[in-house]
Chains A and B, each alone.
Chain A
């Protein structure tokens, strides 16, 4: 049998296998489906209007608020939450801390899907999405645009994440040779991916540097890029803790008991990392605050709002993480991870939406349609996630990996 024939038969086998796997497994009327299916349907209807009647027909965006919930939450916050993938691949492949190896696959998968869906949500927000090819194919490079940089990095990073995850796909599809090749690419793509991540996590912050006169002075600083980068570390770690805790309940059957045990150890390690990075972040925030001489700004509503974010949702969860690592308390870690996730949501929304044009009278409040579409994006992601983890070897620890 010559080579091309064997490839052909391989592809045939794969397609058959793929269609077989496409079929749903198990019951249809699970609570998860009952909640998400209507959301997805309504979301699609909303999107129909969005693309035929314009953004204004379903969103509350205005001339003063060109960016709303879709950018502020889906893209800016979603990408911060996806930071876990670059942190974990750094720890496992660069620093070679074997302890975390068992969560690499699921974290990378989460990162990949988060980028596809949340950064993909950017397309929904574009007025002329068909022109998105312009900055990609190169007939119009805006080299000095931060957004140009960020969008390119999104694209490249998605590819890198895909390659990092691809051995799992190859394993599932039983492409043995391919898996070996893909596996050998891991270190290179990991390094490439981490580099891209540092740049676009901070780049998302740099987007707002030119909005200097619009963002409230308590939040605007020339160090926004660094703050975004540092906070993406604990955003990612908290997300792994949060998500891992849920996955371990929902997908219990898929996870082998040995891993179940070691997962608690992993959580303590992650919590430690979160505590340290949060402290560093808090320290930066405090330094910038003192340096900016903003004491007088603390007296009004915005001052309280700022303290809520920085003390209530950074410093307190930071201490909770530190405390629970010492006392081995999983419960407190879970609460702390939720608090710090809320803190990240608040921080990203504060900069991109809430304190943007803070002195304008008609504030922007997202419309219900914007929220439903966001929920739709999340639901779709969870569907794909579920589909993959129930079929591909994501949770099992594989010795060859």
Chain B
């Protein structure tokens, strides 16, 4: 048994003792996370999704006819949850929509000390205003730098895509998906989406990179991307690894109960030892009380 497993087991024992069993295993009701498949070969850069998103959530609505947005690479902001960027590649212009990836094991929600960032059982990662204390640890932790903060408000919010959680609950698709005229966005469960994505790659190998971004990245994300060119050429980080980000702190957190019980015992032991030593050594009238 290596150290990691040892720590896990030890922590599991120390946590699970009172109720006998770790309960997570039993209550795993199989419910699939929703996600969206973005096929960048279909996207024509019309930015209907940007407009639809901003209208849906009362955000800044870009003037897509005049603002020359493709002249630079834009980032999502506290005013816009999604943006489309244009990349010049060997296979021509590629348009890429950017928004929260709705990770399966999101760093942002593992970071959040109030559970304001929250992975719903339907898949969307949402932000809950009444819980958030504005510490911005979610921003530090998100590997895609997605949560944005309102620096110029006295009562600031964290702003990020929530995959139109309310619409999904109502049985509708996210606003951007509905708005897309090219079917570049497809809404569904991750299993379905992966099947479709694989089918497209297999049947048109000349058109697609043989990779689905988000299948494994950071432990898998809710949003998946297909691309005609390697992903680092269209603004994706390919160095994030496949480990779910919460894993990086898990070992530390598992060690906490051990320290909490182990160290006091150790200190008390040391204290008693030194007492003995002092007594044996010299009978000085050191008054400790």
Q: 20 additional contacts, CB 8 Å, given A90-B267, A125-B135, A148-B114? A: A54-B156, A61-B151, A63-B139, A64-B145, A66-B139, A94-B267, A96-B271, A126-B133, A129-B134, A131-B134, A140-B114, A144-B250, A145-B110, A194-B267, A199-B256, A209-B249, A209-B252, A212-B241, A212-B245, A222-B248
Does the CB pair A67–B114 fall under 8 Å? no
B77: chain A residues within 8 A (beta carbon): 63
7 contacts between A and B (CB under 8 A): A55-B149, A134-B133, A141-B115, A145-B110, A148-B114, A194-B263, A212-B241
Distance from A216 Cβ to chain B, minimum over Cβ atoms (Å): 13
Selecting from A27-35, A183-191, A258-266, A305-313, the interface stretch reads A183-191
Distance from B261 Cβ to chain A, minimum over Cβ atoms (Å): 9
Question: B61 at the A/B interface (Cβ < 8 Å)?
Answer: no
- Residues 213-268 of B at the A interface (beta carbon under 8 Å): 237, 239-241, 245-246, 248-253, 256, 259-260, 263-264, 267-268
Does the CB pair A96–B275 fall under 8 Å? yes
Does the CB pair A202–B152 fall under 8 Å? no
Chain B's interface: helix, strand, loop or mixed, by majority? loop
Question: A269 at the A/B interface (Cβ < 8 Å)?
Answer: no
Does the CB pair B114–A135 fall under 8 Å? yes
A131, B116: Cα distance in complex, Å: 11
Does the CB pair A210–B136 fall under 8 Å? no
Q: Choose from A61, A62, A140 the contact partner of B131 (Cβ within 8 Å).
A: A140
Does the CB pair B259–A199 fall under 8 Å? yes
Give the interface centre of B107, B135, B246 by most chain A CB atoms within 10 Å: B135
Question: A127 at the A/B interface (Cβ < 8 Å)?
Answer: yes
B275: chain A residues within 8 A (beta carbon): 96
Q: Choose from B78, B249, B259 the contact partner of A146 (Cβ within 8 Å).
A: B249
Q: Choose from A52, A67, A191, A213 the contact partner of B136 (Cβ within 8 Å).
A: A67
Does the CB pair B240–A213 fall under 8 Å? yes
Does the CB pair B145–A63 fall under 8 Å? yes
Q: Choose from B112, B241, B270, B271 the contact partner of A145 (Cβ within 8 Å).
A: B112
Does the CB pair A131–B274 fall under 8 Å? no
Q: A63-B77, A128-B134, A131-B132 are in contact. Are A210 and B154 (CB under 8 A)?
A: no
Question: A51 at the A/B interface (Cβ < 8 Å)?
Answer: yes
A112, B190: Cα distance in complex, Å: 51
Q: A61-B151, A142-B112, A187-B271 are in contact. Are A127 and B256 (CB under 8 A)?
A: no
The interface bits of chain A over 137-178 (1 if a CB of B lies within 8 angstroms of the residue's CB, else 0) are 001111011111101000000000000000000000000000
Does the CB pair B136–A127 fall under 8 Å? yes
Q: A63-B75, A132-B133, A147-B111 are in contact. Are A57 and B152 (CB under 8 A)?
A: yes
The interface bits of chain B over 99-119 (1 if a CB of A lies within 8 angstroms of the residue's CB, else 0) are 000000001001111111000
Question: B286 at the A/B interface (Cβ < 8 Å)?
Answer: yes
Distance from A95 Cβ to chain B, minimum over Cβ atoms (Å): 5
Does the CB pair A52–B131 fall under 8 Å? no
A225, B254: Cα distance in complex, Å: 13
Question: B87 at the A/B interface (Cβ < 8 Å)?
Answer: no
Q: Choose from B111, B134, B137, B263 the contact partner of A195 (Cβ within 8 Å).
A: B263
B75: chain A residues within 8 A (beta carbon): 63
A67, B149: Cα distance in complex, Å: 11
Interface residues of chain A, those whose CB is within 8 Å of chain B, are 51-57, 59, 61-64, 66-67, 90, 93-96, 98, 122, 125-129, 131-132, 134-135, 139-142, 144-149, 151, 183-184, 187, 191-192, 194-195, 198-199, 202-203, 206-214, 222, 225, 356, 399-400
Distance from B153 Cβ to chain A, minimum over Cβ atoms (Å): 5
Does the CB pair A55–B156 fall under 8 Å? yes
Using CB atoms, name the residue of chain B closest to A190.
Answer: B267
Interface size on B, residues (CB 8 A): 61
Q: Choose from B136, B145, B151, B248 the contact partner of A54 (Cβ within 8 Å).
A: B151
A222, B267: Cα distance in complex, Å: 27
Using CB atoms, name the residue of chain B closest to A222.
Answer: B248
Does the CB pair A210–B110 fall under 8 Å? yes
Question: B28 at the A/B interface (Cβ < 8 Å)?
Answer: no
B143: chain A residues within 8 A (beta carbon): 210, 212-213
Does the CB pair B153–A54 fall under 8 Å? yes
A67: chain B residues within 8 A (beta carbon): 136, 140
Does the CB pair A54–B154 fall under 8 Å? yes
A35, B253: Cα distance in complex, Å: 44
- Residues 124-177 of B at the A interface (beta carbon under 8 Å): 130-137, 139-141, 143, 145, 148-156
B111: chain A residues within 8 A (beta carbon): 145-147, 210
Distance from A109 Cβ to chain B, minimum over Cβ atoms (Å): 20
Which A-B residue pairs are the 6 nearest by beta carbons? Answer: A127-B134, A56-B151, A148-B113, A66-B136, A66-B139, A210-B141
B156: chain A residues within 8 A (beta carbon): 54-55, 127-128
Question: B287 at the A/B interface (Cβ < 8 Å)?
Answer: yes
Q: Choose from B155, B240, B253, B267 the contact partner of A128 (Cβ within 8 Å).
A: B155
Q: Choose from A184, A206, A210 the contact partner of B245 (Cβ within 8 Å).
A: A210
Distance from B57 Cβ to chain A, minimum over Cβ atoms (Å): 18
Does the CB pair B140–A208 fall under 8 Å? yes
Give the interface centre of A148, A213, A356 by most chain B CB atoms within 10 Å: A213
Q: A54-B151, A94-B270 are in contact. Are A151 and B260 (CB under 8 A)?
A: no
